[in-house]
Amino acid sequence: METSHTASLIAVESLSASTRLFRFETGGEHLPFIAGQFYRFTFTDATGPFERSYSFSQFDPKLPMSQFE
């Protein structure tokens, strides 16, 4: 079952030379997921849309439900 959600990238943190932490916000809605689950993201840059798959978790328990990392 495929569903679509919209999220904005609100923070990027470099954890090591090859690892970055991305924090997204959905604009108020809760994004249901199980930690470690993969989601496919569609991004758009100057050359057009492209897709990447990411695994994420709710790392910081103080984050609002509308944010995920």
pTM of the model: 0.64
Where are the chain's structural domains?
A: 8-68
pLDDT for 16: 93
pLDDT for 49: 94
Q: SS3 letters for 32-65?
A: CCCCCCEEEEEEEECCEEEEEEEECCCCCCCCCC
pLDDT digits (tens, 9 = 90+) for 7-59: 888 899 999 999 888 888 887 777 777 777 788 888 889 999 999 888 776 66
pLDDT for 55: 79
> Which is more confident, 69 or 22?
22
